[in-house]
Amino acid sequence: MSSIYTTSTDTTFDLNVSLQKRWQEPYLKAVQNWISQVQRLQTVEPVSSNSKLGLDTNVANTSTTNASAAEINTATTSYTSNTLSFSTGTSKATLKGAFDANYTSITLKFVGAQTISGTAAAVRFQVLDQLSNVIGDHSVSIATGDSVSLPEVGLTVSFSAGTTVNNETATTATSQTTKTDVDPTTVFNASDANLRPRFENNAQVTAGKFTVNDYDITVNANDTINAVLNRITTTVPNVKATFYADVVTLSTVDASNRVISLIGDTSGFLSAVKLSTGGSAIGTVADDRQVLNTTTEFAGVRKGSFLVNNVSIAVAPKVDTMQSVLTRINNSGAGVQASYDYATDKVTFTSTSGDPISLSGDKTGFLSAIKVTNDDAFAPPEDHRVESPRGKMGPEEYVALAYDERDRQLLLMWSATNAASSAAKTWDRPGTQHQADVLGLGWQGRATKTILTDWDQEPAGGWAQKLPDDWQSLYRLK
């Protein structure tokens, strides 16, 4: 008994089957179904979503940003030194605030010799302008670090522990027209306090840390603003930190609709540069670029992988977007170009190697979410066994179809055994392309797409192969 199935040039199949009539009709139906499915695998046509994904892509893709609430130092005036040292006395003066007077310099002058300590004591000093005119005279009872208001210039002053010397002075230049800028290259703990960043109100940054989007950022006492920003950029995924025009800005590298979270600051850095979580301006993201587990369409996607032409593609739904997964496919070497068409709202897989596209082993649900059918959808029905109507003791004929995933071949197997005397099914095996891997005869060359079965002449070595009783009459080869 023999039969030939061939494909015509337009890739439709002509079926000429010479089989015993008692099971020809159900067998033909099975073969037709199988051939239509296998033919899809044999071609190199693109594989696309079987319906629209329902993604909202009609929005601009913009980044989330988080910037200083205002310039790090908003003073429109300036004074050169915020720490004043005296030539003989050991106590130092520290100025804070925004200069607010029409002088080009101010001078602090002690009146009398005094000791400043942790215990409040009487101290007298004067404030002089650039012409040495007294513009303020202050007699106060203060301890180390106590703040004294200087309304004549809009500042405050405090003194460190130490001694003062009568008539000793210290001067700083001032300006009504030069604003106070923060130098991002100066270190936080410079021994000369005047060489530190000029944070507003003389704020100080110390060793500590803070957290950006769940990533810890360490701050060292001898860091600069630039050093901390570079650490953020290199540590936190998808976040870039920059300094420009006295403002620090954190922004997402890619479009994002999530806040940039800033918490747990023990260094004083976030306060000094005026950053907080509440400063986030949330960006907008089209659905194809949103993190998978934040979208309705991809909410069911799980962490895992699937195979594209037997190349493993990883999926992490808490990190990946649809586009990032498609990019990973394109860079995987699988010989497939994956793309999303905004007009049709579908994903398409196109072969770049000339080989058929195989999608299989999806442990993530991603392929289902983009409505692309994997190889498992092409599996045939589980059983195409057809019994002869000859009677209970007569021979039974079985026919089975299988698909060889290695060569993408349709395989045909059949058996004729006596149910009363044989516990095992004996299967004819026309051809041995892959030894025991292949049962039956498949495509005899991709160009002609011909299936030839000839059971009348037994080749050398025989065709018989016994299989266990519980082996289904249909077998999908791996």
Token duo for residue 474: 């249909």
Instruction: Find out whether 114 and 142 touch, Cβ atoms under 8 Å.
Output: no
Of 261, 281, 301, the one marking the end of a domain is 281
Average pLDDT over all residues of the chain: 76
SS3 308: strand
Structural domain contains residue 434: yes
- Structural domain span for residue 324: 51-59+289-372
pLDDT band at 427 (very low <50, low <70, confident <90, very high): very low
Of 178, 207, 232, the one marking the end of a domain is 178
Instruction: Find out whether 349 and 340 touch, Cβ atoms under 8 Å.
Output: no
- Whether 169 and 206 share a structural domain: no
- Whether 397 and 323 share a structural domain: no
Nearest CA among 229, 364, 345, 236 for reference residue 299: 364
Structural domain contains residue 185: no
Of 372, 403, 435, the one marking the end of a domain is 372
270-312, pLDDT tens digit by residue?
999 999 877 889 999 999 989 999 899 999 999 999 999 889 9
121-157, pLDDT tens digit by residue?
999 999 999 999 999 999 999 999 999 999 999 999 9
- Whether 405 and 456 share a structural domain: yes
Q: Report the alpha-carbon distance of residue 442 to residue 245 in Å, rounded.
A: 72
Structural domain contains residue 475: no
- Whether 222 and 261 share a structural domain: yes
- Whether 230 and 261 share a structural domain: yes
- Whether 256 and 341 share a structural domain: no
* DSSP β-bridge partners for residue 427: 415, 465
How far is CA 463 from each of CA 333, 405, 425, rounded to the nearest angstrom?
39, 22, 13
Structural domain contains residue 477: no
Q: Report the alpha-carbon distance of residue 189 to residue 193 in Å, rounded.
A: 8
The pLDDT, as a whole number, for residue 361 is 87
- Whether 366 and 389 share a structural domain: no
Q: Report the alpha-carbon distance of residue 434 to residue 405 in Å, rounded.
A: 12
How many domains is the chain partitioned into structurally?
A: 4
- Whether 409 and 449 share a structural domain: yes
Token duo for residue 312: 């493993």
The pLDDT, as a whole number, for residue 34 is 53
Q: What is the CATH number of the domain that holds 296?
A: 3.30.70
Nearest CA among 272, 181, 279 for reference residue 223: 272
Structural domain contains residue 193: no
- Whether 206 and 275 share a structural domain: yes
pLDDT band at 65 (very low <50, low <70, confident <90, very high): very high
Structural domain contains residue 143: yes
Structural domain contains residue 31: yes
- Whether 260 and 207 share a structural domain: yes
Which stretch, 48-62, 369-383, 420-434, has highest mean pLDDT?
48-62
- Whether 294 and 354 share a structural domain: yes
204-240, pLDDT tens digit by residue?
999 999 999 999 999 999 999 999 999 999 999 999 9
Structural domain contains residue 220: yes
- Whether 85 and 153 share a structural domain: yes
